[in-house]
Structure 1
Amino acid sequence: MTFFEQQHQARQETRKLVFLFVLAVIVIVAAVNLVMVLLWTFKFGAYHGVPRQYPRGFFETNTAVTLLLIGGGTLIQTFNLRDGGDAVALMAGGRIVLPATGDLQERRLLNVVEEMALASGIACPKVYLLEREDAINAFAAGYNQNEAVIAVTRGTLNRLTRDELQGVVGHEFSHILNGDMRLNIHLISVLFGIQMIAGLGQQMMDAGRYETDERDDRGPPWQAVLFPAGAMFFAVGYIGVFFGRVIKSAVSRQREFLADASAVQFTRNPDGIGGALRKIGGLTDGKKIGSQINHLNAEQLSHLFLGCARPNFLSGWFATHPPLKDRVKRIYGRSMSLLEAPELVTRSIASKVRLPDLPFTSVSAADLADAAATSIIPPIASGLLAPSQKFGNSSDSGSPLASQLDGAVRDPIAASAVIYALLLGNGAEREGQLTLLKKEAPHQAALITHLAGAIKQLPLSARLPLVDLAAPALRQLSQPERDKLLALVDMLIATDSRITLSEFVLQTVLTRRLAPRSGRLVPIKFNALSELGSDIAVLFSLVAHVAVPASHDDAIAARLAAFLRGVQLCPELKLAAQHYCDGASLSFSRVRLALDNANQLAPLAKPQLVKALLAVADNGAELPIASADILRAICAGIEAPIPPTVAATYHAYPWQFDN
């Protein structure tokens, strides 16, 4: 199942979620009315032996108040989670791990996350640490890949080796790339709403604890009614907990199997995620659970985590996660013993890659087939990373270039300087840009010039990944600071009254990741490519222009042939040679409009577009860096992961070329 099919399935799961939510609401409303009938009978059941009638609108009022509580709770929690992944991480008690952290364990974690992000071609997620949690657990959260966060517990850092930590991060990246996160956040809001009745019951029980001797001929005092009433409402509230477990199990169990298999596929090491799960089992002793989360919001967030955050008092189909032994068996192809999970002493962040002890085919065939189809990330151990420092700390090279760039991309202000340095041109253009920088960013001008010299030592294929590495630091900027950065980027580009391909790529990627609505949900407006014929023609034409340089013997004919390769893969578009856009009619403003429209395509309409764009760029040889850059920008523009062919053009840590 591909990335886009996973997104489509996630939307179908949302429909299932809506059905179960409506069913839960119906059951809760019926239970509340039953409780109110019992309370009315207890308090006003008879007056001088004459049965009392229910007041007018009795059941309608009960139903309306219940629906108001559930709907209001859902809307309130949706508003509270408007910031996406950051809000969820803070809700779980996390603290952000700063890119410039000096803690060795945290540095190791950041390096692993960076490796995965660069290999997949997405913005490097923010990383949070659940400092007070000693268990082994982790989660990914966010509305889309541009604002995703990854959170791990302190126990994960203390108890896992680097390979095991990489397996856990690979598992969470599967959730990022397969469209699980958005559904999971919606689920948090829904569960909060249907569990509001339990909160009301708790408050009534608290109020009913105040005793009184006041009585009248109408029955027991209200205080005597409140406590049992609160207890009954609290019990009714646990209908919401029950349905919450049902909903979680309905939408998340199979995704955990797929994420486990994807972690093996990404890392080529079953002992990574497999070892982490075995250690979770080894930490389980009696009632102590190796992945248990103690935070007050653990139950509400339990479906996000790698392992069970709460004990499974509802087992089988109602458990939020598949049984641990089943997950381990699917990874290794047989039952495996559990592992002890003592706290490890971290002496160095650098460690060499360890080849798998077991054959890669030990994962079950069905899981591996699904994971292979979703391999947005090329296997890390297959050679994407520079051999000299595979899985190591990038700054260990000790070179001046490594120190400069590694430090710069981890600080928000210096990371901004890196972006500006990437835009510095030559000659008169450079002089105009430096004049602008001295005016708009006087305290950074010298640093920008210095970093520009360091960046020039990098090959072209190593420059764009700097933007991905700098993403977590840039996202620490406030939105006004981000807006100022984007505005200054626009001004630097406009200095010479033209925009180059590299400038357009950088501007597109930055806008998608730092603009005010970069982390918001994009509504679906178009269900098929056929609704965007002219926009697709623009994108095909752009890639054809980039793929065939002007120096080609017959550039015009070659570009048209490249354009038609894409057209052949999309017959429903009914495009022909006359729809090809030449250089005079192809403007970047028109390209931006085409990208904005393509971003509103339904998930299952996007893979055909990406495949066709790859066909346009295919010249029968190795993919040129210019073609890779424009495809990377288009994928960022339509919020799709870059294909492995494009990802393989880049390198993990750019500064390793200094060695």
Structure 2
Amino acid sequence: MTFFEQQHQARQETKKLVFLFALAVLAIVIAVNLAMALLWNFKFGGHHELMRSYPKGFFAINTLITLALIGGGTLIQTFNLRDGGDAVAQMAGGRLVSPATGDLQERRLLNVVEEMALASGIACPKVYLLEQEDSINAFAAGYNQNEAVVAVTRGTLNRLTRDELQGVVGHEFSHILNGDMRLNVHLIGVLFGIQMIAGFGQQLMNFGRFSSSSRDDKGPPWQLIMLFAGLALFVVGYIGIFFGRVIKSAVSRQREFLADASAVQFTRNPEGIGGALRKIGGLTDGKKIGSQINHPNAEQLSHLFLGSARPNLLDGWFATHPPLTERLKRIYGRSMSPLEAPELSTPYAETTERLADLPFAAAGFASAVASTSMPAPVTVSGAAATPSLEFGNSSGMKSPLSPQLDGAVRDPAGACAVVYALLLGEGAERDTQLAILKKETPQQAALTTFLAEAVAQLPLSARLPLVDLAAPALRQLAQADRDRLLAIVEQLIAADSRITLAEFVLQTVLTRRLAPRAGRLVPIRFNRLSDLSADVALLLSLVAHVAVPAGRTDVTAARLTAFLRGAAACPELKLASHDYCDGATLSFPRVRQALDNVNQLAPLAKPQLVKALLAAADGGEALQISSADILRAICAGIEAPIPPAVAATYQAYPWQFDN
């Protein structure tokens, strides 16, 4: 099943969630009304016609209060989770792991996460550590892949080998790439709302316990009524927990099987995720801890975790995770016994392992630096009022990441300086850009100048991966600082009144990952590619211009051929030669608007577009880095993972993970 099919299925699962939520609310409303009716008769009993003894609107008021509690709880919790993955990780008691950490266990974890992010072409997620949890467990959370976080327990670091840790991280990256995270975060808010009744019952019991015990002539004292009402609502509220388990099992169980399979596919090593699950099964330290999470919010978050966060009192339909035995059998094809999981004496011994040696690197999954010769620059003129788009690169040589750059990408201020250094031009343009930096951010101007030489030594194919590595540090910036960064980036690009391919790609990726609306749900406005024919034609034309460098005698015809090659992959659009956009119409504002529109396509409509763009870029020869970069930027713009052919274009860094 493809990424886009998974996204579509995730949206279908949301409909199932809505149905089950409505069913749970209906059951709770009926139970509350029944409990309140019994309590009313307990207080004012003795009437022969009980149905006439209730006040006017009795059941309506009970229903409205119940709905208000459930709806209010859902809205409040959803609002509390507005920061997405960070809010969820903090809710679980997580501590943010600094990108500059000196702890070797944490460094190993960051290296593995960085490998997976570079390989899949997404922003490197923030990493959180559940310091107080000695079990083996992990989760990924967030509203989309641009603001995801990965969290692991201390036991995961202490007890798993590097291969097993890779398997766990690969499992969580499947949830990131398959669109599971948004559904899981929404589920937290929904379940909190359902369980609000139990909380309200607890408050009533407390109120009744400390209120006056005077009685009246009509029945038992109000104190006793409050206590019984609170107890009834507390019990009724646990209907919410029952339905919560049903909802979680209905939504998440099959997706755990998929994530296990994806972890094997990503790492090409079933012993990775398989070994981690076997150790969960065999983990014993005086008491059974396995994957158990002790934090008070564990029940609310149980559907996010790699393994069951709480013991399954109700198995089968009501378990939040499939049985370990079944998961292992699907991974290995046979039954597997548990493994002991002692704390490793040197859990970080493998941190010097290089990415090029990893199993998935050989499969072309790793995305990294390559030494590549590129065509000469090509200028495509734009309208007079807007900067033109310029395409092309020069050859670059492979160079190790210097200690200065390695440290800078892990610090928020340093990461900003790296971004600025990537945009520095030559000659008068550079002087203008440095003047802008000295005016806008004097301290970072000096650091940018210091890092510029190291950045200049990098091959152009290393630049986007460098930005991916800097993503966790950049995401530590407050939104005001992110906005300031994006504004300075725009000024630096405008310094020479034109936009190069590198500048366009960098700004597109940064905007999608750091802008105020990054990470928020994008509503579906278009169901078919045919709804966006003009935008598709523009993007195909853009890719054709990048794929065919200037200097050829037949450059115009070759670009048109590339455009038509891509158009043939979307026959329903019926694009022809007259739909091709020449250089004069390829302005940055138009391309940006096209990306915004295409991002609102239904998930199942996007793979055909990515296929068409890849066809336009692929002329039968090896995909150029310039083409890979523009495809990578477009995929970032429409929130889709890069296709395998693009990932394969970037060869593994031989130096990236030497820490």
Name the residue aligned to 2:72.
72
Rounded to whole Å, the distance in 2 between the matches of 1:181 and 1:380 is: 26
Q: How many residues align?
A: 627
Gaps of 5+ in 2: 370-398
Q: Structure 2 length as normaliser, TM-score?
A: 0.92
Rounded to whole Å, the distance in 2 between the matches of 1:566 and 1:355 is: 33
Name the residue aligned to 1:396.
none
Shift of 1:208: 2.8
- SS of 1:129 mapped into structure 2: strand
Shift of 1:289: 3.4
Seen in structure 2, the aligned counterparts of structure 1 residues 214 and 386 have a Cα distance that, compared at 3 Å, is: closer
Shift of 1:206: 2.1
1:30-78 per-residue CA deviation (whole Å, 9 max, x = no partner) reads: 000100011001111137x896711001111111111111111111111
Amino acid at match of 2:420: Y
Rounded to whole Å, the distance in 2 between the matches of 1:482 and 1:437 is: 15
Contact conserved, 1:378 with 1:647, CA < 8 A, in 2? no
- SS of 2:150 mapped into structure 1: strand
Seen in structure 2, the aligned counterparts of structure 1 residues 210 and 439 have a Cα distance that, compared at 3 Å, is: closer
Rounded to whole Å, the distance in 1 between the matches of 2:601 and 2:456 is: 38
Amino acid at match of 1:100: A
1:487-512 per-residue CA deviation (whole Å, 9 max, x = no partner) reads: 00000000011111110000000000
Contact conserved, 2:139 with 2:172, CA < 8 A, in 1? yes
Alignment of 1:340-379 (within 5 A): 340-346=340-346, 348=349, 350=351, 352=353, 379=360
Name the residue aligned to 1:168.
168
Shift of 1:444: 2.1
Seen in structure 2, the aligned counterparts of structure 1 residues 625 and 657 have a Cα distance that, compared at 3 Å, is: farther
Seen in structure 2, the aligned counterparts of structure 1 residues 311 and 572 have a Cα distance that, compared at 3 Å, is: same
Rounded to whole Å, the distance in 2 between the matches of 1:295 and 1:307 is: 15
4+ runs deviating over 4 angstroms: 49-52, 284-287, 351-356, 383-388, 651-658
Rounded to whole Å, the distance in 2 between the matches of 1:182 and 1:505 is: 26
Alignment of 1:525-540 (within 5 A): 525-540=525-540
1:446-472 per-residue CA deviation (whole Å, 9 max, x = no partner) reads: 321221211222222112110000000
Question: Which moves more between the two structures, 490-499 or 447-456?
Answer: 447-456
Rounded to whole Å, the distance in 1 between the matches of 2:149 and 2:271 is: 24
1:386-418 per-residue CA deviation (whole Å, 9 max, x = no partner) reads: 999xxxxxxxxxx98431221111011111110
Shift of 1:479: 0.7
Name the residue aligned to 2:35.
35
Seen in structure 2, the aligned counterparts of structure 1 residues 240 and 578 have a Cα distance that, compared at 3 Å, is: same
Contact conserved, 1:378 with 1:648, CA < 8 A, in 2? no
Name the residue aligned to 2:483.
483
Alignment of 1:51-130 (within 5 A): 53-130=53-130
Name the residue aligned to 1:185.
185
Rounded to whole Å, the distance in 2 between the matches of 1:278 and 1:382 is: 26
Rounded to whole Å, the distance in 2 between the matches of 1:498 and 1:44 is: 82
Seen in structure 2, the aligned counterparts of structure 1 residues 387 and 654 have a Cα distance that, compared at 3 Å, is: closer
Seen in structure 2, the aligned counterparts of structure 1 residues 615 and 332 have a Cα distance that, compared at 3 Å, is: same
Seen in structure 2, the aligned counterparts of structure 1 residues 211 and 543 have a Cα distance that, compared at 3 Å, is: closer
Name the residue aligned to 2:393.
none
- SS of 1:404 mapped into structure 2: helix
Rounded to whole Å, the distance in 2 between the matches of 1:286 and 1:203 is: 37
Contact conserved, 1:198 with 1:233, CA < 8 A, in 2? yes
Question: Which moves more between the two structures, 139-148 or 562-571?
Answer: 562-571
Shift of 1:350: 1.8
Amino acid at match of 1:215: R
Amino acid at match of 1:115: E
Alignment of 1:374-453 (within 5 A): 379-382=360-363, 401-453=401-453
- SS of 1:499 mapped into structure 2: strand
Amino acid at match of 1:596: D
Name the residue aligned to 1:470.
470
Amino acid at match of 1:176: I
Shift of 1:552: 2.0
Does residue 522 (structure 1) correspond to residue 503 (structure 2)? The answer is no
Name the residue aligned to 1:279.
279
Name the residue aligned to 1:621.
621
Does residue 157 (structure 1) correspond to residue 138 (structure 2)? The answer is no
Shift of 1:213: 4.9
1:597-630 per-residue CA deviation (whole Å, 9 max, x = no partner) reads: 0011110010000000000000111100110111
Name the residue aligned to 2:559.
559
Seen in structure 2, the aligned counterparts of structure 1 residues 610 and 355 have a Cα distance that, compared at 3 Å, is: closer
Shift of 1:436: 1.6
Rounded to whole Å, the distance in 1 between the matches of 2:572 and 2:289 is: 54
- SS of 2:581 mapped into structure 1: coil
Name the residue aligned to 1:288.
288
Does residue 548 (structure 1) correspond to residue 548 (structure 2)? The answer is yes
- SS of 1:648 mapped into structure 2: helix
Amino acid at match of 1:330: R
Shift of 1:378: 9.9
Contact conserved, 2:281 with 2:338, CA < 8 A, in 1? yes
Rounded to whole Å, the distance in 2 between the matches of 1:609 and 1:165 is: 35
Question: Which moves more between the two structures, 331-340 or 469-478?
Answer: 331-340
Seen in structure 2, the aligned counterparts of structure 1 residues 442 and 354 have a Cα distance that, compared at 3 Å, is: closer
Name the residue aligned to 2:380.
none
- SS of 1:18 mapped into structure 2: helix
Seen in structure 2, the aligned counterparts of structure 1 residues 379 and 211 have a Cα distance that, compared at 3 Å, is: same
Name the residue aligned to 2:243.
243
Shift of 1:335: 1.1
Rounded to whole Å, the distance in 1 between the matches of 2:540 and 2:356 is: 42
- SS of 2:200 mapped into structure 1: helix
Shift of 1:242: 0.6
Name the residue aligned to 1:456.
456
Contact conserved, 2:111 with 2:657, CA < 8 A, in 1? no
Name the residue aligned to 1:264.
264
CA-based RMSD of the aligned residues comes to 2.3
Rounded to whole Å, the distance in 2 between the matches of 1:228 and 1:344 is: 52
Contact conserved, 1:35 with 1:232, CA < 8 A, in 2? yes
Does residue 337 (structure 1) correspond to residue 318 (structure 2)? The answer is no
Question: Which moves more between the two structures, 193-202 or 442-451?
Answer: 442-451
Seen in structure 2, the aligned counterparts of structure 1 residues 128 and 179 have a Cα distance that, compared at 3 Å, is: same
Amino acid at match of 2:199: G
Amino acid at match of 1:262: S
1:190-228 per-residue CA deviation (whole Å, 9 max, x = no partner) reads: 111111111111112222334865222111111112222
- SS of 2:585 mapped into structure 1: coil
- SS of 2:443 mapped into structure 1: coil
- SS of 1:166 mapped into structure 2: helix
Shift of 1:540: 0.5
Shift of 1:287: 6.8
Identical amino acids, percent of aligned pairs = 78
Amino acid at match of 1:188: I
Seen in structure 2, the aligned counterparts of structure 1 residues 225 and 334 have a Cα distance that, compared at 3 Å, is: same
Amino acid at match of 1:250: A
Rounded to whole Å, the distance in 2 between the matches of 1:569 and 1:612 is: 5
Question: Which moves more between the two structures, 12-21 or 212-221?
Answer: 212-221
Name the residue aligned to 1:599.
599
Amino acid at match of 1:575: L
- SS of 2:649 mapped into structure 1: coil
